Every structure is written in C-alpha cells, then in structure tokens.
Amino acid sequence: MNLQPEKDELCVIIGAGPAGLTAAHELARLGMRSVVLEKDSLVGGISRTINHRGYRCDVGGHRFFTKVRVVRELWEEIMGDDFLVRPRLSRIYYKNRFFDYPLRIRNTLKGLGLVESFLMGWSYIRARLFPEHEERTFEQWVSNRFGRRLFGTFFKSYTEKVWGMSCSEISADWARQRIKNLDFMAAARNALFGAKTHGNKLVTSLIDQFHYPRLGSGMMWERLQARLAEKHIETKLNQQVIRVHHTGGRVTAVTARDGQGRETRVDGEHFIASMPLRDLIRAMDPPPPPDVVDAADSLHYRDFITVMLVVDAPEVFQDNWVYVHSPEVKVGRIQNFKNWSPEMVPDPSKTSLGLEYFAQEGDELWTMSDDDLIDLARSECVRLGFATAENVMDGAVVRMPKAYPVYDSNHRESVDAIRNWIGTLKNLHPVGRNGQHRYNNMDHSMASAMCAARVIHGAEIDIWDVGVDEAYLEEPETVGDVEREAMITDEVIRDTFARYDAPAMGTALGLMAAIVLFLMSMTLILKGGDPIGPTLMLLSNYLPGYRMTLVGVAIGALQAGGWAFLFGFLLARAINLVVGMIEGLLLRRIEIVRTMVDGD
C-alpha cells in the first residue's frame, strides 16, 4: 500500500520522541507539512510517561532545564500553567550513608571523615600538579580534574553500573560532553557558598530547581502530538520503519511495518530520522558500502529498565531522586515521582518509586520476568531502608531498549564514517540522541531537530555540530559577514572573556600552600635530627608561631594558607581587571559595527 504525500507534505519524520515531534512542530511553523512514524504505541520515546492504575512513572527522570531560549519558549507555550517549577533535591547513597548532591561541605565531611576528606583534597592537588598527559578514557579525564580518590568515591561505581563496563573502557568524549562545565573548584565552591554561576553560566549539574509537567514528562509530548493533529499533521503509531529507499544521492521513501505485519510505503521529499543510527544504516535499501555497515554494527547501546513500586506510605524520602553508588545492589538510581509532581500519584497517602536498572538486551536482567524484577526491586528497596516487604503494594515494569548510546573507544571513528556516508544523501537528516549516537539532553535533541527543519527550509547549518551553548537557533538563516559580526551579543562576548573566580582561586592556592607546608614539616619532624629543619624554620620570620612541633606546624600551615588565599584572591581580581578592559574595548568595537549596519 502506498501513501502519497500531499503537495506540501514534504517531510517524513522517523520517531515521535522529543526530536521527531519538535521537528514536525518547527516544520509546521515554517509552513511545511510532515508525517511522523513511531514504532511504539506511545509518543515521547525515552521521555514518555506510563500510567499504571493511576500511578504515573517516567522512563527515567527528565528535568526541563535549558539555556536555549527557543526551546524554553516552546515548552512554556505547550504547557502553560501545567508547567510546574519544582525544587531539586538529590543525594548519593554510598557505603550506607547519604551524601548531598551537589556536595555540601558539612555533610561531606561528616560522611567521609576528616582524614578521607584531607586525602581527597591532596589527591586533587596531586592530579592538578601531575596530570596524566593522555586523556583517552573516562577514568583519565575525571581523575585529572577531580583527583583519583574522589573519582573512586563518587564516579567509578555508579558509572560502571550505568555502562556495564570499566571506566577505563569508556571514552573521555562522554565526560567532555556530560560534565564539561563542572570541575572540582565549582563543586567545592558550591559546597561552601551554594550554587553560583560558572563563567557567567549556571552549571547544569548544580541547579536547585527545574520545570516539570504536572502529569509527568510524557504530558509534554502527548500535548504536542495533539497540537500537531489540530494542524492535520498525523503521528502514526505502531509503525516501525524497516527500509529506507534511496537512489541517486537522495532518499525517496520509507517502508514501515505495523503490529499486524502489514507494510506501508511512505514517499517524501525530505526525511528526518531519530531512530538509532545503527538501525538506520541496517534499514538502507540498497545497503551502504561494507565499511559503513561495519561501522554501524560496531555501535553499541545500553538498555534501561524501570521498575515502579507503589509504597503504602505518604513519604519515603524527600529527594526527587537518589543515586545508588553502592555496588552491593544492582539498582542505579531511584526516582520518587511524587516529589517531581504531587499529581503523579492518585492517592496522597501512597508513594510511587521508580527503580532504574541498566542492562543489555538478552542479559540476565533484561530477560527476567516482570514478577521477578518487581521482587528484585522490592528486596533492594527494603535493603536500602526505603520500604518494608509488607508495604510494597504493587509494581510495574517498563523496558526501554537502546536508551543510551555507548561511548566506547571506537565510537567516534564509527560515527564519523557513517556521518560521511549519510552526507551523500542530501535530504536525510539524523537528529536526536540515537539519531546522532550522541548522549545529549532533551533540549539538545530538540535543538538539533529545529535546525534540521530550518535546513529543509533553506538554512545552511551542519546539524551534527549543533550544541546547546551555540547560537544556531538565535540568528537569521542568511547573513553576511558584517551582519554576522554585528549580531554577536554582549553575553557571548562576556562568556568568551570569562572571569576568574577570586574566592575559588584563593581557596585553591591556600589549600595547596597549607597542605604542602604541613606535609614538608611533618616529614622533617618524623625524620628527626638536631636541630629539626633549620632551613624551613626560617619561615618563622614571616609566620609567627611556626615551630617544628605539631601545634607550631598547624599554626604555620594556617597562616601560609591564609596568605596564599589572599595572594590568589588579589591575583584573580587583577587578571579580571585586565580582561574587563579588553572586553570593554571589544564591546565598543562591536557597537560601532552595529551602528554601521543600522545606518545601512
């Protein structure tokens, strides 16, 4: 059976997740029609919400937070008053203790102890002074920025649960993308003073509130599906694309199969694909060259299981979610959906928890029956102290294949090979997390979809290079060199000329000076001799009270740290003053250019 598009129905969109539905919305805004094909019976992809006897559960928790204005405005337009502002509270469970996340200094010291906290600080200083020169793996990347000891405490166990492989096998690309703006000093600064901006930007990992739809993240996509239907843009469910037909450097049609095995061919002029990149290549008809097929076959994915438990208790814990780093249980994260929105539960005297397990299709977890998974989740919830065996009333299981694209050591070369070949098909545009094999957030998936729609409309954008920190969606689609320079905003300039954080720089130098003096002095004391450390004792001329005794060393270390803090603080202020002068000159030059453009 053939479905021939109407004259203005130019685009076939594969997938009705955030990327696919956003692409359809943006095309409609640009005056173009489309049809959306979704293999499942619900829209939303990994951002869907299931409803089990009135208890709602997201497939993973999805905060609505973005720095992209057009994405934020679209969310607000769709949800209106149903877009709640929710406080963010999350903790890390490790070695039978809870640690606030983001870290809080008092809580962390209490949980780790003074000795472990000191060793963690020393490990950080050592990593900064003597970093590993090669950063190919996640372990190397994180250890260089946080120290190996903190990596082992707060990164290693949870990350290996998520990916099912050693951190030494995970590519550093994943860390660069997911935690690029967060560093040790940002975490320490937040622990001491609360969440602040980082280079004029709030670090996403440290935000303390977020938006969320009243009835779960899926409410956003169900509502967008309905709005598209009002514009006669159909979302066809249970339609799995099994073949993508192409000839002469263009895709001409796709063939989709429904739940009864019936096949439908859908023709179009442009195609946007959010299906997994590996599946897209395997569906090509005729097949791509063997090296491209091999590259696609080398791509791997991590699959995801959510077990929802209904607990007969009005409150289980106050967090939105808890990261479970403890290796003795298999669960990786626990969502408390009642704390995302009170309306996620029909009865306020009950609580719904979402226990998240990371698996591989075909492994022991993935093939367990629903009843066995519910029993596992119940037993682990009891072990962690969140429930008793008796007050778990009900449960449900959701399996999500290919939830996370894996960043192994070969993924970049494989994606590049596929990208180069897809580039020969001028009307095929992969978007979204799986479409580009890129572990991005929801807002980035939407941004890439908006850009794909604008490319179809005539803009010149490389959608593979779209990032949420860039201005692809803020600029006109065609501008000349002078106009482009004139449109550089003050915010972009200030981000380029980011300031040093004076308290953070002072704290880093102060800690380093205090620890180094303390360790050097204690080494000499333990070594002994008569006199002890005569050369180092010369510092007593500048550090009153400094002596080669335990108390004297402590007094000297505190003074050294204080002076080093003052030096670092003033140095940062001086550097910022110079940077500010340069920034001011550039801003004035930009203003002159803007005036010239306005005059034209």
Beta carbons within 10 angstroms of residue 184's beta carbon: 19
Query: How many other C-beta atoms lie within 10 A of the C-beta of residue 393?
Result: 13
Alpha carbon of 249 to those of 51, 265, 280, 449, 599: distances in Å? 44, 19, 16, 22, 44
Average pLDDT across the chain, whole number: 85
Q: What is the pLDDT of residues 402-418, one digit of tens each?
A: 999 999 888 999 999 99
Between CA 325 and CA 150 the distance in angstroms is: 13
Give the Cα separation of 430 and 275 in Å (integer): 8
pLDDT at position 330, please?
94
What percent of the chain shows pLDDT beyond 70? 83
Highest mean pLDDT, choosing among 123-132, 195-204, 433-442, 487-496: 433-442
293-302, 463-472, 505-514, 566-575: which has the highest mean pLDDT? 293-302
- Over residues 238-297, the pLDDT tens digits come to 999 999 999 999 999 999 999 999 999 999 999 999 999 999 999 999 999 999 999 999
Question: What are 419-471's pLDDT values in tens digits?
Answer: 999 999 999 999 999 999 998 889 999 999 999 999 999 988 889 988 644 44
Write down the pLDDT at residue 106.
67
The position carrying tokens 């951190």 is: 167
**pLDDT tens digits for range 352-403:** 999 999 999 999 999 999 999 999 999 999 999 899 989 999 999 999 999 9
If you average pLDDT over residues 551-565, what whole number do you get?
88
Provide the pLDDT for residue 479: 35
Average of per-residue pLDDT across 489-512: 68
Q: Which two tokens stand for residue 473?
A: 């969606």
Is residue 42 within 8 Å of 237, Cβ to Cβ? yes
Residue whose entry in the numeric block shows the structure tokens 């950080």: 124
Q: Which pLDDT score, from 0 to 100, does residue 465 have?
A: 84
**Tens digits of per-residue pLDDT, 291-320?**
999 999 999 999 999 999 999 999 999 999
What is the pLDDT, as a whole number, of residue 26?
96
Higher-confidence residue: 387 or 196? Answer: 387
Q: What is the DSSP-derived secondary structure letter of residue 227?
A: H
Top mean-pLDDT range of 197-211, 365-379, 465-479, 488-502: 365-379
Whether 200 has a pLDDT exceeding 50, the answer reads: no
Residue 587 pLDDT: 63
Instruction: Tell which CATH architecture fits domain 2-46+69-81+213-298+409-465.
Output: 3-Layer(bba) Sandwich (3.50)
Within the chain, what is the greatest distance between any pair of CA atoms?
Answer: 97
Is the model more confident about 538 or about 75? 75
Q: How far is residue 436's CA from residue 136's CA, in Å, rounded to a whole number?
A: 21
- The residue written with tokens 């009835």 in the block is 215
Query: Which distant-in-sequence residues (6+ apart) come within 8 Å of 475 by Cβ?
Result: 484, 487
What is the rounded CA–CA span in Å between residue 311 and residue 289? 53
Asked whether the predicted pLDDT for residue 475 surpasses 90, the reply is: no
Rounded CA separation 376/64 (Å): 30
Q: Rank 10-19, 488-497, 540-549 by mean pLDDT and report only the highest.
A: 10-19
pLDDT tens, residue by residue, 519-552: 888 888 887 776 776 777 788 888 888 888 888 8
State yes or no: pLDDT of 156 exceeds 80.
yes
The dihedral sign for the CA sequence 108, 111, 117, 123: negative
How long a stretch of residues is the chain? 600
Closest CA to 251 of 426, 459, 416: 426
Per DSSP bridges, beta strands 235-236 and 209-213 are unpaired
301: left (phi over 0), alpha (psi -120 to 50) or beta: beta
Interatomic CA distance for residues 213 and 303, integer angstroms: 25
Helical segments of 210-262, H only: 217-230
Rounded mean pLDDT, 54-66: 92
Letter for the amino acid at 534?
Answer: P
**Which pLDDT does position 327 carry in this prediction?**
86
Stretch 187-214: mean pLDDT, rounded?
60
Strand 301-311 versus strand 49-52 pairing type: unpaired
Q: What is the pLDDT of residue 481?
A: 39
CA gap 267, 129 in Å, rounded: 60
pLDDT at position 600: 44
Task: Give the residue, 102 or 91, on which the prediction is more confident.
Answer: 91
Q: Beta strands 240-247 and 333-336: pairing type?
A: unpaired
How large a percentage of the chain has pLDDT more than 90? 52
Q: Which of 229-238, 350-359, 465-474, 565-574 has the lowest mean pLDDT?
A: 465-474
Tell me the CA distances in angstroms from 574 to 464, 472, 502, 577, 594, one per residue in order: 40, 34, 10, 5, 30
Angle between helices 69-79 and 442-456 (to 10 degrees): 100
- Residue 582: pLDDT above 50? yes
**260 three-class SS:** coil
Give the per-residue pLDDT at 186: 53
* Highest mean pLDDT out of 114-123, 169-178, 368-377: 368-377
Structure tokens, 17: 């997740």
Q: Domain 301-405 class?
A: alpha beta
Packing angle between helix 114-129 and helix 502-527, nearest 10 degrees? 100
Q: What does the pLDDT read at residue 83?
A: 97
Distance CA 313, CA 388 (A): 10
User: For residue 8, is pLDDT > 70?
Assistant: no
Q: Please give the pLDDT value at position 476.
A: 38
